[in-house]
Structure 1
Amino acid sequence: MRRFSFCALVIACFFKTAAAQQPVHVDRPFEQEHAVKYRVGQADKKLIAAAADRNGKIQLVGASGLLQPNNGQFLFPGDLVRDNVYRFMKDKTIRSIARYEDQLVYLTDKLVFSNAWAGEVYLEHGLKNASVFAGGKDFQFLVADSKSLHLVKDGKITWKGALKADEVVDVRYQKNANAFWILGKSSLSVFSPATQNLNQVFKGNGFTAFDINSHKNHVLIGTKDGCITFNISTGEQEGAINKRLPVNDITSVCQIGEKTWFGSSNGAFALRPDGKFDYYQGERWVLDNQISGVFPGPGKNVLLLTQKGLTELVFQDWTLRDKAAFFDKQVRSRHIRNGFNSTLDGLQNGNVNTGFLADSDNDGLWTSMYLGGEAFRFVVTQDAEALKNCRESLDAMERLYAITPVPGFPARSYERAGHTKELADPERWQHSAHPDWDWKSTTSSDEVIGHIFVFGVMAELIDDEDIRSRSITLIDTLMSHILRNNMYLIDYDGKPTQWGRWHPEYVNSFPVSVGDRKLNSSNIVAMLQTAYHFTKKEKYKAKAFELMDKHGYFENLMRPIENIGKTDGAGDLSSLLSDRWNHSDDEMYFLGYWGLYRYAFNDTLKTHFKDAIVDHWQAERPEKEGLWNIFTAITGVRDFDLKEAIWYLQEHPTDLINWSIQNSHRKDIDLIAPNFRNQSTKEVLPPDERRAQRHNGNMFTADMTHGNGDSELSAGDIWLLPYWLGRYLGVISAPEK
């Protein structure tokens, strides 16, 4: 039997009214990138150049000749193999390759030639050691070795020249001026094919690479210590050398569309129109960080050459809904273990086909967050698959309670018996009554608040009597256990778990500056309100008011976040808990805010709780945390940093493997002094430039030096929950094509 409660309908109407006054992100396509990598063989350790034609054909020049990408796709690297399509090119010593008039053109020790245009482009250039070239107007090509320059056209060398006391680094053609630019190691020159004049226009030293930004009439020159901007109109350097780059040791410069791309000795980066950089470093993006070349790829794609191979950065126009569909496939294909939302562990260098689904201390928590997202998805879309996912994960959550011998006590996890030594924290595993299953003990408070959050969501919103009644039963079962055991979570040994403690004797033993005093008070009131809301059992309401009125829990939970800080001299536990801000606490607070605000006993409390939530959110704003911002929207406030939440969702990488990431060396970011919240930079970096992490991690962690591609996180809790919560609250629209 299916039904929809009147109470749920009233609340839904209230939130739709509130949401009508809130900003809404219209889900239009944005640019989403991912990396496809190709490893190079031993014979081609030096990759020289790459290009793509109008058909999307990619070719590279390596030490052994012409190469092409083979068999690569996202998360599954391919390799580079010999390109024998034009078999009679094998006798040509190819030095470089370029795209000209949307076709591929080759430079050898004798020729500039192409297989396009019926093979009629065949120009002898006369430079045995030619290494670089560029195509100009009407099939003119400027060819250079380290010393000489030759202009060839119609099968003839029409001009010869050389740089003054300098060596050629590279050449470029400026179409709107019909001019060739030549970069030397210490000079910049311009050659006019119309007048056949070569003029040196700028002197310097240590030049390594360059390109022309015709839109701004600039030449950008890379050096080993920054980038120089030469203004073509004024004929002078514009400003001082720019040393505020992610990496100042520039190896390549390439203008692609509106972005200027740089290769460096430590990754690639693109200068955006707003003056900031997109940084591509670490194996999420490249096989190694020594970038030897940046080239335009097919369509909007970008080709990055390194010592170990090629990366094709693929840029697609996605809506957030497209991204949600992609992540749903990731979760369902690789991250569901017995219904739990799990990490794929034991990968060999990022190969997702080599891993296993790992148990976790927080199987119940990560599954609660994924399950919440699927519940919101079902409410928004009525998708039958989402409802199936809810049932499957609810089964897993329900069994956490059935598998332990203690009534109302949920396990952290469960797994098949006989493999305890292979599991995380083997000392915590206990045998169940079933011979084939063991369960994990010492359940913590963060699991409990996750359970109550999602059971409340499903009980309220899922229009299915079976799911609703099972969810309410689980709320009642868990909360009865806590009340029956004097506000403690009691394990199989009859003792409270380390963190499952909400008794005033424990909570109020901490100084007011210790976060657990506020956190535990906030969580238990939210949990009791949720239990009362759905069961109407007076014991929950009475206990909540007892804690708030007699034991100061209301004052505790309303205490401003700014009062929490480092606490010395109050005991070892207080010192430990206040050593720094605990970002897992944020996760527990915000999951609890669903029940704290939404199921508040009365409007007066709801108003106060709204103030507490907004106060906490204000402290979190520098992190631009998508989930915290969207959770804050449940209060109906107009300002909850929706723009930053969308930035989090759009900028989040699709590769959630734990690759090493480095940022602390960057010259384009501002580091700040050590502080209680462990905020290391003035402004938080985009998610795709940070380590793969859950919401309980510090978003300001700049480096991840030990990531070796041995695990993949699930997008179920990381991305799908904030997206579908935003859709449910109406602050993110359906996709607009």
Structure 2
Amino acid sequence: MSVSRFFATLISTTLIASSSFAESLPIEDTPFIQEYHEAFPLASEGENDVRAIDVDKLGGVWAATRDGVRVLESGVWSTPPSAGKGPAFNVFCDSNGASWVGAWDGLYVFDNGGGSKIDFISEPISAVCETPDSILAAGPENLWRFSGGAWHKDATKWPRSVSEIAYRADSGLWMATGLGLYNKSDKGDHLYYKQPDELVSGAVRGVALGNDGRVWAGCLGGLTVLTNGARTAGYTPAEGLPNYDVRCVAIGPDGRIWVGTALGVARLDESTKQWSLRHSRRWLLDDEVRDIAFDRDGNAWIATKAGVSAIKRKTMTLEEKAAHFLDIQHKRHVRAPWIVERCKLRTPGDVTTFAPEDDDNDGSYTAYYMIQELYRYAVTKDAAAKEHAKKAFELIEFLQSVTGTSGFIARTIVPSDWDKMHDGNETVSPERRAESRVNDPRWKPVEKRWRPSADGKWLWKGDTSSDEIIGHFNGFFAYYTLMDEESEKELVRNLTRRIMDYIIEGGYNLNDIDGTHTRWGVWSPDKLLGDPDWRAERGINATELLMFLKTSYFITGDKKYQEHYEKLIKDDGYAELARHAKTYHPSERTHIDDELLSFAYPALLSCENDPALLSIYRESFDWWYKGLSRDESPYFNFVYGAYGGKEFNPEDAVEYLRDAPLDLIDWRVDNSTREDVTLVRAPEIEPLQTDRMLPPSERAVMRWDKNPWMAVNGSNGDNEQSGAGWLMPYWFGRYHGYIGQPKK
């Protein structure tokens, strides 16, 4: 098939796929609110034990800590003048600009650059608030009121375990205590809420008063909403609250209800009745949240047991978000000679300590990056994107030539002076060989994975997998169709031919330097059809080999590849194996296979013109996508739509791109203790998964070879992903008309 005919076919399939969405596509790139986290740890363990937080009129952030009060100004923590030593329990910034601190030894006030202790109060103060004409301070001994220029004790009796007090003119004073919610109105009425029909539980940790007069009580067990003194709503895990252990409650500037829990910050949007959760080190210094306050820009300042976190907001478009990720990618994720993959962080979470790191799939993910830049160039005509794609292709070509073979391609390369690579060379003992073969009869001992280049400058890694080869051929297909220079097309023709010929010479397997096939580089009929240990891979590996051959024929025009393709279909039934290439057997299903098949279908569906074979490939394509339609993957959704799929959820794809965090650090995100999900063993048997798809902001950073349903995923923040998992589907979606340009 000629390139011009390819584009005609591609445009046709895209139009067919888009017909049912014609009125809604492209989805306009309207500005949206992007949340992100900034950490503000304090100097010592005691200072990081933050109990309460508030923001003053000038934007200063006040924190009550185990070691006393601290204030954050211009990004620097300090101890305010005349602050006492010892634990502080509460901080309150009043409407006049003063900051009040409840401490172990009484009450302090800070104003106009100075501070002092209230001499009249020498007992612990755990809560402070203001009324129009007074300041109220409560603790385990008394309730104090400052009015008329003097402090007075309030004689009202209440449970003394006071965690928070709040006041509104229309409903009076509300006190959250360990034994119920106490209300004293200006009319003199005393109401005490503690019964099960009044509160979720009597252990009330926080109270927030809405502008609509409703009272939100945060209790051990959930939230209670009171309207005109009567319970009108309750929120527990049964109503979507992710964690029962409520520590505080606040109402955000946009009206959302923020609930601090032992598992992070949960937010309720009453307009949609949807909960969201901000947890893990991606969003918070610790999941145990003690208090929440908001600044004038709508940013949330959060007191945790390990420091202060800020969840900030800014307005972005998807195009601006793409620029953000591209900047990160080129600052930290391109290592010589042009490998693009994740980097390690010597200090977890600190991107200033980044260092290059090798990965088994460096080659295929550099090809993934190359495709990203090809689509970016096709959309924007940015010369830099074209140059990046060329450099990535040069790297892939070097992975082949560095081996000194006619067509074997390395997994990755590193400078020859590296000595901390993954999977170093080793001696495999007879005992380990036996043990490994018993556990996996297909296991192959590879003692020498790393070999020096002829010039001694590089070490290259062998035992290349099928994952790498399908990733490269997908890259070759994209490079040939999207690169607009004939000299570059000739380069990809030559490389495609070398690798394809090498696989054919190996009997449709990828033979390593030792003359035997690599552990995973197997596509031959004698293995897939004759060896029962390869039964699980029959469908996907047969599909891959057909794609290699069809792509090689498309790029080179050499009929021998078409002849091999037709022989495998006629003599070995490879097309029938491809019909249901994706396996849904619970013990054999993997999301790695989902990604590998997504690399195979574009070329097969675009280059095949036999109606019978095309029908089989479309059936295979639909069979593959039926198990992915709920994954809300922008990459899989857009691929399915671009090559003829129906009902491929472009809205879900764009929502993913918007909701995905700006932070690419691989933090561990544990959803296994959430009470708003059920843990199941589906769609795969292992590991444990959630029964509903959580939004990307509540999961670990994703690559599309990972299971998005996993309840626990990620690491300890010791590496950062490259951003290609976001950028490639974004530019793919732009190219195929699913995402529009930013709205001006």
- The question of a shared fold, defined as TM-score above 0.5 by the shorter chain, is answered with yes
Q: Give yes or no for the alignment of 1:401 onto 2:394.
A: no
Aligned to 2:428: none
The CA distance in 1 between the partners of 2:656 and 2:263, in whole Å, is 25
The CA distance in 1 between the partners of 2:86 and 2:241, in whole Å, is 40
Question: What is the SS of the residue equivalent to 2:365?
Answer: helix
Aligned to 1:146: 140
Contact 1:220 1:227 in 2 (8 A): no
The CA distance in 1 between the partners of 2:495 and 2:550, in whole Å, is 15
Counterpart residue identity of residue 329, structure 2: V
Counterpart residue identity of residue 36, structure 1: E
Distance of aligned partners of 1:93 and 1:64 in 2 relative to their CA distance in 1, 3 Å threshold: closer
Q: CA deviation at 1:684?
A: 2.0
Aligned to 1:105: 99
The CA distance in 1 between the partners of 2:274 and 2:493, in whole Å, is 49
Contact 2:14 2:641 in 1 (8 A): no
Contact 1:38 1:310 in 2 (8 A): yes
- Segment drifting more, 233-242 vs 615-624: 233-242
Q: Give yes or no for the alignment of 1:531 onto 2:552.
A: yes
Q: Deviations over 1:672-705 (max 9, x none)?
A: 2466454622102222322334211111221248
The CA distance in 1 between the partners of 2:212 and 2:159, in whole Å, is 30
Aligned to 1:592: 600
Contact 1:47 1:62 in 2 (8 A): yes
Contact 1:105 1:114 in 2 (8 A): yes
Q: CA deviation at 1:71?
A: 7.8
Counterpart residue identity of residue 702, structure 1: A
Correspondence 1:246-257 to 2 at 5 A: 246-256=242-252, 257=254
Correspondence 1:459-608 to 2 at 5 A: 459-509=480-530, 514-559=535-580, 561=582, 564-565=584-585, 579-608=587-616
Counterpart residue identity of residue 672, structure 1: V
Aligned to 2:648: 640
Aligned to 2:225: 230
Distance of aligned partners of 1:478 and 1:588 in 2 relative to their CA distance in 1, 3 Å threshold: same
The CA distance in 2 between the partners of 1:646 and 1:240, in whole Å, is 30
Distance of aligned partners of 1:513 and 1:482 in 2 relative to their CA distance in 1, 3 Å threshold: closer
Question: What is the SS of the residue equivalent to 1:412?
Answer: coil
Distance of aligned partners of 1:297 and 1:695 in 2 relative to their CA distance in 1, 3 Å threshold: same
The CA distance in 1 between the partners of 2:548 and 2:130, in whole Å, is 70
Contact 2:358 2:412 in 1 (8 A): yes
Counterpart residue identity of residue 720, structure 1: L
- Segment drifting more, 451-460 vs 229-238: 229-238
The CA distance in 1 between the partners of 2:85 and 2:292, in whole Å, is 27
Q: State the number of aligned residues.
A: 705
Counterpart residue identity of residue 49, structure 1: A
Question: What is the SS of the residue equivalent to 2:550?
Answer: helix
Aligned to 2:430: none
Correspondence 1:165-176 to 2 at 5 A: 165-174=159-168
Counterpart residue identity of residue 493, structure 1: D
The CA distance in 2 between the partners of 1:240 and 1:479, in whole Å, is 60
Distance of aligned partners of 1:246 and 1:473 in 2 relative to their CA distance in 1, 3 Å threshold: same
Question: What is the SS of the residue equivalent to 1:622?
Answer: coil
Q: Give yes or no for the alignment of 1:267 onto 2:267.
A: no
Aligned to 1:284: 282
Aligned to 1:163: 157
Question: What is the SS of the residue equivalent to 2:283?
Answer: coil
The CA distance in 1 between the partners of 2:57 and 2:18, in whole Å, is 47
Q: Which runs of 5+ in 2 are unaligned?
A: 426-447
TM-score by length of 1: 0.87
Question: What is the SS of the residue equivalent to 1:285?
Answer: coil
The CA distance in 1 between the partners of 2:700 and 2:86, in whole Å, is 45
Q: CA deviation at 1:206?
A: 4.5
Q: Give yes or no for the alignment of 1:132 onto 2:127.
A: yes
Counterpart residue identity of residue 365, structure 1: S
Contact 2:108 2:115 in 1 (8 A): no
Aligned to 1:575: none
Residue 301 of structure 1, aligned match among 288, 299, 302 = 299
The CA distance in 1 between the partners of 2:308 and 2:296, in whole Å, is 14
The CA distance in 2 between the partners of 1:228 and 1:362, in whole Å, is 47
Aligned to 1:610: 618
Aligned to 2:632: 624
Aligned to 1:312: 310
Q: CA deviation at 1:217?
A: 5.0
Distance of aligned partners of 1:498 and 1:88 in 2 relative to their CA distance in 1, 3 Å threshold: closer
Q: Deviations over 1:486-535 (max 9, x none)?
A: 21222222222222222211222366994411101211222222111222
Aligned to 1:731: 738
Counterpart residue identity of residue 728, structure 1: Y
- Segment drifting more, 409-418 vs 679-688: 679-688
Distance of aligned partners of 1:113 and 1:275 in 2 relative to their CA distance in 1, 3 Å threshold: same
Cα RMSD after superposing both structures: 3.2
- Segment drifting more, 534-543 vs 293-302: 293-302
Contact 2:51 2:90 in 1 (8 A): yes
Question: What is the SS of the residue equivalent to 1:190?
Answer: strand
Residue 39 of structure 2, aligned match among 25, 30, 37 = 37
The CA distance in 2 between the partners of 1:377 and 1:494, in whole Å, is 40
- Segment drifting more, 312-321 vs 677-686: 677-686
Distance of aligned partners of 1:91 and 1:597 in 2 relative to their CA distance in 1, 3 Å threshold: closer
The CA distance in 1 between the partners of 2:162 and 2:33, in whole Å, is 37
- Segment drifting more, 412-421 vs 402-411: 412-421
The CA distance in 2 between the partners of 1:488 and 1:104, in whole Å, is 75
Aligned to 1:183: 176
Q: CA deviation at 1:564?
A: 4.2
Contact 1:31 1:318 in 2 (8 A): yes
